[in-house]
């Protein structure tokens, strides 16, 4: 009882940033916990081929989303939020207007030239409609979360996030179970929930901002967002190109296996993203104050915490597959550790990327990502042919390590140009030691799992 009271007292005394981080992480744990419960249910209801089709849609959605929304709800939002902080509501509604205009133009081109695009994507025309609704209705939701996170208003973020998670999950389970486990029913259930929530949030944000177009805001956002498109696209290549290539060269059944392994291996990535969502505004504010010692200390602690979190899936993932999933998915267990190690380097470079964006060096950001994407495409092309779909996991790890190294090189250039020692911001020795430890442990556990008799 005394310990509980002490913890409660510490929480009350914590800064708004720490409280927000805790709640965002808690929300992520709920989301992934729900995923743990529902993934084996979905995979048991949906045939492997149908689950593979659903995974293919998700992969293409991640690519199209970049062009349809310009990803204005990502890092660009923080820069604009500081610049237009006296006109926050108008800034928010204008971002939605900009993304919707781009989405409409893009999907109009898909509709007019669907005979060209359908063979390339492998998606039927009505799935492209689902994708259009998905992209447009996700924007009010994502922009709302950005707006609230920037002000550390975690209560509204937690409520809306949980509402979205549970509605998509419950409606999805109902639709899939009553429609013979088809991928179409799974996608339709997601779109229905996102349209309802998106329209509610749009009406709220538009009532506050009252404008969908502001020339100054659109110009500033486009100035930052367009140079970042290669970066976002390259990141999708890193995370999704392997899926598309597996589907094409190995079949959707192998894609389903890899998707399960990737979902379990990257399970802590959602925690990483939640921490980043809370910590990025803090980095911006700390950089403005030039409090580099606090930055180095805070990021160093987070590197260690994230390394520990990335190890957990390597230990628990194989057991989870063995206990709760169909035997046809057992083969995926040996890839979890390798994929999990990638998430540490994802966090490592994502922190460095914030500094690049703070100084508006978007060319560096895009260059690093494009380099890693080209290497990823080349290695996957040859790797899948020689070693099969499992090679994608190893290629992913190699490319995220490369991405972290290139970003570190560019950060050093930025620090030199601004007469700042990079050692004041990043503890390179600590991050290297932790990274090597994560990789070694991941390989050992993966080798152990491969040797087990499932």
Q: What is the mean predicted confidence (pLDDT) over 18-46?
A: 69
- Specify the pLDDT at position 344: 83
Contact 343, 266 (CB under 8 A): yes
Contact 78, 284 (CB under 8 A): yes
Q: What is the mean predicted confidence (pLDDT) over 78-83?
A: 78
Q: Single out the residue of 95, 149, 420 nearest to residue 280, CA to CA.
A: 149
Distance CA 62, CA 391 (A): 22
- Specify the pLDDT at position 4: 43
Contact 212, 97 (CB under 8 A): yes
The yes-or-no verdict on residue 91 having pLDDT over 50 is yes
**In terms of pTM, does the model score above 0.85?**
no
CB atoms within 10 A of CB 382: 11
Contact 336, 446 (CB under 8 A): yes
Dmax (CA) for the chain in angstroms is 68
The most confident of the ranges 176-180, 290-294, 325-329, 395-399 is 395-399
**DSSP code per residue over 341-403:** HHHHHHHHHHHHHHHHHHTT-HHHHHHHHHHHHHHHHHHHHHHHHHH-TTHHHHHHHHHHHHH
Kindly report, residue by residue over 129-182, the tens digit of the pLDDT: 888 888 888 889 888 888 887 776 777 877 888 888 888 888 888 888 887 778
- Residue 187 is inside which H or E element, if any? helix 183-209
- Specify the pLDDT at position 271: 67
Quote the tokens at residue 426. Answer: 């990043």
Contact 43, 329 (CB under 8 A): yes
- Specify the pLDDT at position 200: 92
The yes-or-no verdict on residue 76 having pLDDT over 70 is yes
- Specify the pLDDT at position 3: 41
Distance CA 161, CA 16 (A): 19
Q: Residue 420 carries which DSSP code?
A: -
Average pLDDT, the chain: 79
Please indicate whether residue 323 or residue 18 has the higher confidence score (pLDDT).
Answer: 323
Q: What is the mean predicted confidence (pLDDT) over 231-255?
A: 77
Please indicate whether residue 430 or residue 90 has the higher confidence score (pLDDT).
Answer: 90
**Span of 18-27, 206-215, 233-242, 404-413 with lowest mean pLDDT:** 18-27
Kindly report, residue by residue over 357-386, the tens digit of the pLDDT: 778 787 888 888 888 888 988 898 888 888
The yes-or-no verdict on residue 5 having pLDDT over 50 is no
Distance CA 330, CA 107 (A): 39
Burial code of 117-136, b = ≥16 C-beta within 10 A, e = fewer? eeeebebeeebbebbbbbbb
Q: What is the mean predicted confidence (pLDDT) over 109-128?
A: 80
- Specify the pLDDT at position 77: 82
Kindly report, residue by residue over 419-447, the tens digit of the pLDDT: 887 777 777 788 888 888 888 887 887 77
Q: What is the mean predicted confidence (pLDDT) over 314-319?
A: 71
Q: How far is CA 209 from the centre of its chain?
A: 28
Residue 199: which pLDDT band, with cuts at 50, 70 and 90?
A: very high
């Amino acid at each position: 009882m005394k310990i509980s009271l002490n913890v409660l007292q510490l929480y009350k005394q914590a800064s708004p940033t720490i409280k927000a981080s805790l709640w965002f992480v808690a929300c992520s744990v709920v989301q992934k916990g729900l995923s743990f419960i529902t993934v084996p249910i979905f995979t048991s209801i949906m045939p492997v081929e149908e689950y593979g089709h659903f995974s293919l849609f998700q992969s293409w959605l991640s690519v199209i989303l970049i062009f349809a929304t310009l990803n204005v709800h990502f890092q660009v939002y923080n820069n604009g939020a500081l610049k237009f902080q006296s006109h926050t509501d108008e800034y928010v509604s204008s971002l939605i207007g900009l993304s919707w205009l781009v989405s409409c133009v893009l999907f109009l081109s898909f509709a007019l030239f669907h005979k060209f695009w359908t063979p390339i994507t492998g998606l039927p025309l009505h799935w492209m409609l689902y994708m259009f609704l998905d992209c447009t209705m996700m924007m009010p939701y994502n922009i709302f979360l950005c707006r609230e996170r920037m002000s550390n208003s975690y209560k509204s973020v937690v409520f809306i996030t949980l509402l979205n998670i549970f509605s998509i999950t419950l409606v999805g389970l109902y639709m899939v179970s009553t429609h013979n486990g088809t991928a179409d029913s799974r996608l339709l259930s997601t779109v229905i929930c996102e349209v309802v929530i998106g329209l509610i949030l749009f009406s709220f944000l538009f009532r506050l901002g009252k404008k969908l177009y502001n020339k100054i805001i659109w110009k500033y956002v486009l100035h930052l967002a367009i140079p970042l498109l290669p970066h976002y696209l390259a990141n999708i290549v890193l995370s999704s190109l392997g899926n598309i290539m597996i589907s094409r060269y190995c079949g959707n059944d192998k894609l389903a296996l890899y998707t399960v392994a990737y979902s379990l291996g990257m399970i802590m990535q959602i925690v990483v993203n939640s921490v980043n969502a809370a910590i990025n505004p803090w980095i911006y504010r700390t950089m403005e104050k030039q409090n580099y010692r606090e930055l180095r200390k805070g990021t160093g602690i987070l590197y260690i915490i994230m390394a520990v979190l990335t190890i957990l899936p390597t230990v628990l993932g194989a057991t989870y597959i063995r206990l709760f999933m169909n035997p046809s998915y057992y083969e995926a267990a040996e890839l979890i550790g390798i994929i999990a190690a990638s998430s540490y380097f994802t966090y490592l470079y994502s922190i460095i990327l914030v500094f690049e964006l703070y100084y508006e060096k978007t060319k560096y950001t895009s260059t690093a990502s494009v380099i890693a994407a080209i290497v990823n495409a080349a290695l996957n092309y040859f790797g899948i042919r020689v070693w099969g779909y499992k090679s994608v996991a190893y290629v992913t790890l190699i490319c995220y390590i490369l991405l972290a190294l290139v970003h570190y090189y560019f950060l050093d250039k930025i620090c030199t140009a601004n007469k700042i020692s990079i050692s004041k911001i990043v503890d390179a020795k600590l991050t290297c030691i932790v990274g090597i430890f994560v990789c070694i442990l991941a390989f050992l556990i993966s080798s152990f799992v491969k040797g087990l008799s499932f």
